[in-house]
Structure 1
């Protein structure tokens, strides 16, 4: 079960821009992440690789936790992310992350956000 201090530490790492490092440090080896209703991605190494792939396509990522709640092994975080592409286009994501922790590590995480207009 995460303490408030541990959750604040995790949030600070993400807000510092070390997204892949946060996954390496705070997720279990068998962790999963799920975007809205998409199938979950499973395994910390794959999660880190996916995150690095996203970061490689950006020139800057701004991350801010607007609020967070800890209730036993469950955590909810309201995030604002602004991803700037290499061409300068900014994509803003207003997201709620629901996490399940196993001890002091994240075991399962699901993100809820509006993906934007449908792509044609």
Structure 2
């Protein structure tokens, strides 16, 4: 698959709530995921598909998602950006918040090898 084909497929799967399928089909086993800041008790950067999957599971277990939207993709060579907006409630604190982030993905050999998230960490 080309970078743009991967980008479009990722957006399509995310819009359908099929994040696990996206990980299984579009991401390399050695993928690196980097957050804008380290969350409490977590690392800013994780390596490997299992670690990225665990990070996603933590998110789902700790947030009630009221709504989500996905925009893009916006390509640039072997990279692309996708925009995400969420209305969520943090389950442990009960705090409801609106979040917006951009994710930069890098593709090599037909798989996503790196994802980097950009957001206002002061939210």
Same fold (TM over 0.5): yes
Contact map agreement 2:6 2:26 (CA 8 A) in 1: no
2:21 is matched with 21
- CA drift of 1:88 comes to 6.3
- TM-score, length of structure 1 as denominator length: 0.80
Query: Which consecutive unaligned segments of at least 5 residues does structure 1 have?
Result: none
Q: Deviations over 1:20-45 (max 9, x none)?
A: 33222211000011111543111101
Matched length: 117
User: What's the secondary structure of 2:22's corresponding residue?
Assistant: helix
The equivalent position to 2:60 in structure 1, one of 43, 55, 59, is 55
- CA drift of 1:50 comes to 1.4
1:110 is matched with 116
Q: Deviations over 1:44-87 (max 9, x none)?
A: 01110110121022333633223321122111122212223458
**Alignment root-mean-square deviation, CA:** 2.3
- CA drift of 1:3 comes to 4.3
